[in-house]
Structure 1
């Protein structure tokens, strides 16, 4: 008998639908006509053991027992799914062949692998386990996946990476939460000080941003524009244009690090010098340019960022909507993907997907009608694919499905991003002009569109280039012009902006920008971040639930409790440097470029040092809080499952 173990019931039923009928449907599994069985986990059905399961001494929170470092890691059944675990144990024992059908990511890989390991499956039987990768729950896609089973051993690096992450969260979260909570109690703060490998640096980003805004002092800076015409008598507005002064090397002492002029008198002097003065074209270049599509297909984080910008949807809501589109409606592929590329094999389905979208009753039908399936963008790259690919629409039509407004908005974002891969390049003519007036250089640019291409799908993204409205006359190098007048423009430096759902997610995905240690920043790739695509929404949501973050309109700001916690903790625990580097190593493990020991050994050493540091932390800035034993016990119990 073959036993298929899916990650959740919906996936199990989709697999069974592609297997021989008739079926015998049970609450915990499905028997198919040829004797094979499909069963499932219900998400995680095993959890990391609590500290007291390792040693009774760990039941009491005490500095003397820290750090807690299990020598032999344990998993325990989750009470609410214990019955399903019992059924799986019986089925695994009966099975000749096991087919791993967890979700196609590192958490999905570990989830089923740890169940197989928990049952002590023999080495020989484990070596024969197959891997079924499904990112589309529609019947044709499931059948294709069933015909291309992989060897599960090939995916062990994914599982090891997830295992390392899980154990790191246990070690870091439990040890440091206990250490800092115990120190806080000495100052009268008798509540749990929750510390996490990801949540605390993320909270630190928000706190520091708000502190930067509060301490910001706006400063004026000045720009000079020259209003130019072809001649002194030229009155035709179409023959007039403006150019902006570029301060010379001698003026840099009066500028800030971004080249902005800070001394008003200098700018006023330039204006006075160029009024009603002759000008000459110092340099002019005209180039025919084209821009390939810069938008890859979505992974979860990029989709969440886009939805936050366009629809003000928070990350958790976007994930929930995606799960509905994937599991309930079967309209999109696997949503918890961290990949933005597509395999070349998927090109075979592209014409069918485009034709289906062209026949929908949604706005995407016009976009699909103008798509050209023969165009190949750089999204098609087999070398960039791991266990999953980017989120795209399936071949199933939404016409007979009643989508709510959230589902419709997310579906249209995904379809547009996919269809854009089949649009031509954007073409334009760019003119760069340099003019000399009274010894000073002034520049301007002009752009003339020649082929809209893929930009027709992204009108809002074209706003940045709309400032290039100069209509330049036909000019040549050495041509004499006239500066009718100079204009002084006073502007003011702006404070950094508070985080929003979109920018906080972007900060998590591109954390290297916020890393202070130059050496660590060098080892991080652009895509290395805090958390994973699948966990980021939950981490942000967790900080809100713990009352560390709050919303002010679209802004996300820290509460007084969140600020007090960050101010009380050692700086090392609140910066993303260390955890960002850990994420980089976890990714390297998944890609077979690092191993478990190379990650865990330095981690244990770091945690040991941080526990020692915590015992010396005064926490003088924490408020006095009365002890709430029931609430504290509940919070303690949750520590093992949070990052």
Structure 2
């Protein structure tokens, strides 16, 4: 008997659907016609044991116990799913072959591996375990995945990496959280002050942004525009570009802070001729945006529909598991396997049926156009989130699910549209010894942009508000300055984080770091947290009452601010997390070892704990003390420990 172990029941049912019929449904498993069995986990069936499992004294939170560092790590069954673990234990004893069908990511690999190991499957049988990678729950895709089984031994480094992450999060989170909570309680705070390698740097981002806004003082600065007219009576505006001689009156961003200087320029140019010194026109193209990974989808959905990261993830899971309308959603990749290109007719037909509003876009798509999204070298365990070829009626979806599906579908369709083409034009004009520049952007071809007209999609960052046209000029031509215009402006405070901008900050965290080495790591590892964990991390910070919402704004609470104030910078910035992720990635690629990673953490932890400042909690009140604080690990998030 071959035992297929899926990550969750929905995946197990999709797997059984393509295996020989008739089926016999048992308690926690499905037996197929040839005697093979499909069973499943329900997320993590096991979790890291709590400190009191190592020593009953650890049930009490006391400073003298810290740091707690297990010599031999223990797993314990989760109470709610203990029965399913028993089902798998029995089936594993009966099976002569095992197929691992966890989700195609680091956590999915560990989730099934830890069950196989915990149930003491003999080494000879473990060596024969095969791995099935499924990212689309429709029958054709599942059958194809089953025809491409690989040895599970290929994925051992991925599992070891996930195990190292899990244990390191426990070690760091348990000790730092207990330390801060005890110190906070001494000052009268009754809640849990949890610390994690990802959640705390995210909180640090918000706290520092809030403090920057609170301390911000607006400063006036000045710009000068010249209203110009050609001999043909055509008018346009050009903006003054301060010369190097103006630097003493400029800030670090080049803004002119002296009104007198701006007024002097204003007085000098009125009624004066301007000489066209240079003209440039560059034809540019912008390819369609790549299909979504989860973070990119969450950011766009937050901007367009005001949805939280968790709402988007929950809707995606329903679209993937229940409706089977999209591929695996917890993906960090924005590329597609080259073989998927041939599936475009089926996928676009499904889009047109489900979303009549997109039917014209499907009809106008050029399915022979092969863009940069199809690239095998960019695809590892999973690919970008795209629609599947399954056809269904849109009425079965909730409004939110349909909105999310349409975002994914439109982004996929964009791959079959040409580039957006435009001309960037610039005119350099000398007036009374000063340089003035006029710019314009003229669209040549809409390309993929026509798909997003009226969709609320934000323009690219480089698409500043520019006029669409300038007069036809020639170099050496003289124009007349009718008048100058003084623009009084004020520097703007940074904006409070929103769901969209906080997610964008987590994925683009490198821009908040100055250390070149750390910046490179964060770029390579795609930011703070993973696609699977970011939503859970943000929600945890709200649950712990470190963050609150004011309309669309996300702000830090007093508890969040004081927690960050109490911690050393290493705990509140992305640097440590970046180094961890680089090491974990190296473990997954067999370029680093588990033991070296864990030993380094155990050695650095006591020093880090000594740097916590108890005085920072002074005056902190409130918080609801839980009866028992257990660091729970949910599927994918491991939120309590992060």
Report SS of the residue matched to 2:326. Answer: coil
Task: Tell me the equivalent position of 1:126.
Answer: 126
Task: Tell me the equivalent position of 2:449.
Answer: 455
Contact preservation (8 Å) 2:631, 2:641: no
The alpha-carbon distance between structure 1 residues 423 and 65, as it changes in their structure 2 partners (threshold 3 A), is same
Task: Tell me the equivalent position of 2:428.
Answer: 434
Report SS of the residue matched to 1:619. Answer: helix
Gap regions ≥5 residues in structure 2? none
Distance 1:493 1:149 in 2: 59
The alpha-carbon distance between structure 1 residues 7 and 401, as it changes in their structure 2 partners (threshold 3 A), is farther
With 617-626 and 424-433 compared, the bigger mean Cα shift is at 617-626
Report SS of the residue matched to 2:523. Answer: coil
Which residues of 2 match residues 464-479 of structure 1 at below 5 A?
A: 465=463, 467-469=465-467, 471-479=469-477
Report SS of the residue matched to 2:545. Answer: coil
Report SS of the residue matched to 1:70. Answer: coil
The alpha-carbon distance between structure 1 residues 470 and 440, as it changes in their structure 2 partners (threshold 3 A), is farther
Which residues of 2 match residues 231-250 of structure 1 at below 5 A?
A: 231=231, 234-235=232-233, 239-250=234-245
What TM-score does the superposition give when structure 1 sets the normalisation length? 0.95
Contact preservation (8 Å) 2:301, 2:307: yes
Residue 385 of structure 1: CA displacement?
Answer: 1.2
**Equivalent of 1:619 in 581, 606, 615:** 615
Task: Tell me the equivalent position of 1:183.
Answer: 183
1:270 correspondence with 2:265:
yes
Residue 518 of structure 1: CA displacement?
Answer: 4.4
Report SS of the residue matched to 1:155. Answer: helix
Task: Tell me the equivalent position of 1:174.
Answer: 174
Task: Tell me the equivalent position of 1:258.
Answer: 253
Task: Tell me the equivalent position of 1:304.
Answer: 298
Distance 1:206 1:94 in 2: 53
Task: Tell me the equivalent position of 1:571.
Answer: 569
Report SS of the residue matched to 1:192. Answer: coil
Contact preservation (8 Å) 2:192, 2:623: no
The alpha-carbon distance between structure 1 residues 560 and 620, as it changes in their structure 2 partners (threshold 3 A), is closer
Task: Tell me the equivalent position of 2:159.
Answer: 159
Task: Tell me the equivalent position of 1:506.
Answer: 504
Task: Tell me the equivalent position of 2:284.
Answer: 289
With 455-464 and 153-162 compared, the bigger mean Cα shift is at 455-464
Gap regions ≥5 residues in structure 1? none
Contact preservation (8 Å) 1:284, 1:477: yes
1:642 correspondence with 2:622:
no
With 109-118 and 58-67 compared, the bigger mean Cα shift is at 58-67
Distance 2:202 2:616 in 1: 22
Task: Tell me the equivalent position of 2:586.
Answer: 588
Distance 1:177 1:361 in 2: 48
Q: Over the residues paired in the alignment, what is the CA RMSD in angstroms?
A: 1.9
Task: Tell me the equivalent position of 2:369.
Answer: 375
Contact preservation (8 Å) 1:528, 1:580: no
What CA deviation, in whole Å up to 9, does each residue of 1:78-119 have, x standing for no partner?
111111111101111111110000111111111001001111
Task: Tell me the equivalent position of 2:558.
Answer: 560
Contact preservation (8 Å) 1:190, 1:624: no
Task: Tell me the equivalent position of 2:388.
Answer: 394
Residue 542 of structure 1: CA displacement?
Answer: 0.9
The alpha-carbon distance between structure 1 residues 450 and 388, as it changes in their structure 2 partners (threshold 3 A), is same
The alpha-carbon distance between structure 1 residues 104 and 178, as it changes in their structure 2 partners (threshold 3 A), is same
Distance 1:40 1:563 in 2: 42
The alpha-carbon distance between structure 1 residues 470 and 299, as it changes in their structure 2 partners (threshold 3 A), is closer
1:193 correspondence with 2:189:
no
Contact preservation (8 Å) 1:308, 1:501: yes
Residue 625 of structure 1: CA displacement?
Answer: 4.5
Residue 430 of structure 1: CA displacement?
Answer: 2.4
Distance 2:352 2:61 in 1: 62
The aligned length equals: 633
Task: Tell me the equivalent position of 2:219.
Answer: 219
Distance 1:516 1:186 in 2: 36
The alpha-carbon distance between structure 1 residues 380 and 442, as it changes in their structure 2 partners (threshold 3 A), is same
With 25-34 and 186-195 compared, the bigger mean Cα shift is at 186-195
Distance 1:282 1:626 in 2: 67
Residue 251 of structure 1: CA displacement?
Answer: 0.8
Residue 638 of structure 1: CA displacement?
Answer: 4.7
Which residues of 2 match residues 27-106 of structure 1 at below 5 A?
A: 27-106=27-106
What CA deviation, in whole Å up to 9, does each residue of 1:335-380 have, x standing for no partner?
1111111111111211211233234443222221111111122111
Task: Tell me the equivalent position of 2:530.
Answer: 532
What CA deviation, in whole Å up to 9, does each residue of 1:501-536 have, x standing for no partner?
011111111222223544422433255322111011
What CA deviation, in whole Å up to 9, does each residue of 1:284-328 have, x standing for no partner?
1122222222x1111111111110010000011101100110111
Contact preservation (8 Å) 2:528, 2:577: yes
Contact preservation (8 Å) 2:563, 2:616: no
Report SS of the residue matched to 1:333. Answer: coil
